[in-house]
Structure 1
């Protein structure tokens, strides 16, 4: 249950909204008037207005304006509501006429109104519904930094062999280890339901590079990252679900990589395409090494597609691993690319299939 004194906040197109009660209908979303000091990462009202101005609104005639935009068909039912109640309420509240594509039609949503502000208000309401629905879907993609260079993979295989040879513990077995070709640092996960959304996400990743990443890394290119040390997700080292490697900068100030990944997630978050994990402002940077969800994985079958649904995860005892290999050094890589990766997929090199790849180095 949400704390009524600290309601959940979400960002849509640069504007902040609060959710009064997740059990109520969409009309419970209200625009949150925040002072500049309350807005994360220095976002202010001028920037909010700038985001609003990105909406393309055309004048139809002397008394009507119109805008059209893509929404995946998977979300249309939520926008329409039971017997059309939700879309009718939005139209009534904003004094607009909203046209929703019929089943089977490959068309955009269109909003007509007597002025631009009412059209913008209706679009924001629809965006809120889409974001709320999106966050309930299973992730289809994730933003990743590949860590599968030959030197890292070799050290990982050595680590794996040593663990299996020297460590024993309840639930510890070979199938828990990620495949070396898929080693990566996870930045954030998201759900993309069609090609249009994949194109939008690719554009967002490119924007994040141009607006934030290039500036942050300008004096430290190529940024070198060391994969060294172990940690785990659970509270008890004898009952671990995920054991991961930690990362650190080699030729740059500590915390620089954290700023990079936080900037990416915030950019996607404000565009309504990504949620913040457990409400954290900072990404928990991790390179998964062992994961209990891989247990029993069949060799030659992708770990993501081989997970049995509704099966309770069985933790493993990683206390000996942490004791013997706590400072294990897997090696160093250069941060050259950041990927928008597809889950449940495999590219020709054994890594996840990429929807978009951006370069982090100066062109």
Structure 2
């Protein structure tokens, strides 16, 4: 936000004074919520003759911006990177063996597999609408480090084992997502606890939508979304549902039978990343807008 009061010829929405001048790309959006967000992103000051009117206007803006946010595709997500070299090599072995033994099964093809450089665990997705919200997310991440992450992790990386596979839907003959299971090597719940508390903190901030009571920690290895878009990332259930009709499911029964206990190896998790969707850094992983380190 600019921190400046708006002095242009106004239109009035309740007690809110808005400039009629908008960037061209905003004019393409038909919903009033998008117009309100444009206003909120450029002006800090809401003026009015009565305090209650100002409060009411701000509440209306908050509600409409929240509705707008829910309709936007996510721009960032909190993640644990699983793309260490040893894990990538085991993943490529898994891919090779699956294609060698199961390529005749309905729908199974190389296009379903995750990019090994982008193997990860998703904690939650965020629609960050401007630079200010990105900075807010960065600040929240650092507060989480101070408030609980350092204590739970004990100042050390978390040793995680990636072993076994499971699928999302009810019918193994019509799979859309196959994922690798993860658990702490020492049998503790530290990883789950950190993920859940991060989700709770970001949900409370308004930057993340809560869909489940706890984070489902999983590493996607095969996804039918990749068939059409190899650069696609994990999507929440509401977003994924929009593409459900476009998916071509695959028969994963033989994969489960032959590779149900496949071990992808161990990984040391030392960071939580605020990852940028549709991006790539020098390592092949997602570019980051911020991170929390355990040690």
Fold match, TM over 0.5? yes
CA deviations over 1:109-146 (Å, ceiling 9, x no partner) = 31246787875564344222212210111111111100
- 1:358 is paired with a residue whose SS is strand
**Residues 264 and 324 from structure 1, CA distance in 2 versus in 1: closer, same or farther, beyond 3 angstroms?**
same
1:231 & 1:69 partners in 2: Cα distance?
48
Matches within 5 A, 1:206-285: 206-218=142-154, 221-251=156-186, 253=188, 255-277=189-211, 280-285=212-217
Given candidates 302, 323, 347, the residue that maps to 2:231 is 302
So what's the TM-score if we normalise by structure 2?
0.80
- 1:287 is paired with a residue whose SS is strand
CA deviations over 1:153-197 (Å, ceiling 9, x no partner) = 011011111111112411000010011000000111111122222
1:146 & 1:125 partners in 2: Cα distance?
39
Given candidates 83, 86, 104, the residue that maps to 1:151 is 86
**Residues 119 and 224 from structure 1, CA distance in 2 versus in 1: closer, same or farther, beyond 3 angstroms?**
farther
For residue 203 of structure 1, report the CA deviation from its aligned partner. 1.5
Given candidates 125, 130, 137, the residue that maps to 1:189 is 125
Cα RMSD over matched residues? Answer: 2.7
Aligned residues: 263
- 1:109 is paired with a residue whose SS is coil
Q: Which residue pairs with 1:161 in the alignment?
A: 96
1:244 & 1:123 partners in 2: Cα distance?
43
For residue 329 of structure 1, report the CA deviation from its aligned partner. 1.0
**Residues 199 and 256 from structure 1, CA distance in 2 versus in 1: closer, same or farther, beyond 3 angstroms?**
same
2:222 & 2:100 partners in 1: Cα distance?
16
**1:69, 1:110 within 8 Å by CA — same for their partners in 2?**
no
**Residues 287 and 134 from structure 1, CA distance in 2 versus in 1: closer, same or farther, beyond 3 angstroms?**
same
- 1:221 is paired with a residue whose SS is coil
> Is there any run of 5+ residues in structure 2 with no aligned partner, and where?
4-9, 23-38, 234-241
**1:101, 1:108 within 8 Å by CA — same for their partners in 2?**
no
Matches within 5 A, 1:1-363: 84=12, 87-88=13-14, 91=15, 98-104=16-22, 107-112=42-47, 122-167=57-102, 168-218=104-154, 221-251=156-186, 253=188, 255-277=189-211, 280-296=212-228, 302-303=231-232, 312-361=246-295
- 2:144 is paired with a residue whose SS is helix
- 1:111 is paired with a residue whose SS is coil
CA deviations over 1:310-329 (Å, ceiling 9, x no partner) = 67111111111111111111
**Residues 174 and 263 from structure 1, CA distance in 2 versus in 1: closer, same or farther, beyond 3 angstroms?**
same
For residue 221 of structure 1, report the CA deviation from its aligned partner. 2.1
> Is there any run of 5+ residues in structure 1 with no aligned partner, and where?
1-67, 71-79, 92-97
2:76 & 2:60 partners in 1: Cα distance?
25
**Residues 144 and 210 from structure 1, CA distance in 2 versus in 1: closer, same or farther, beyond 3 angstroms?**
same
**1:177, 1:290 within 8 Å by CA — same for their partners in 2?**
yes
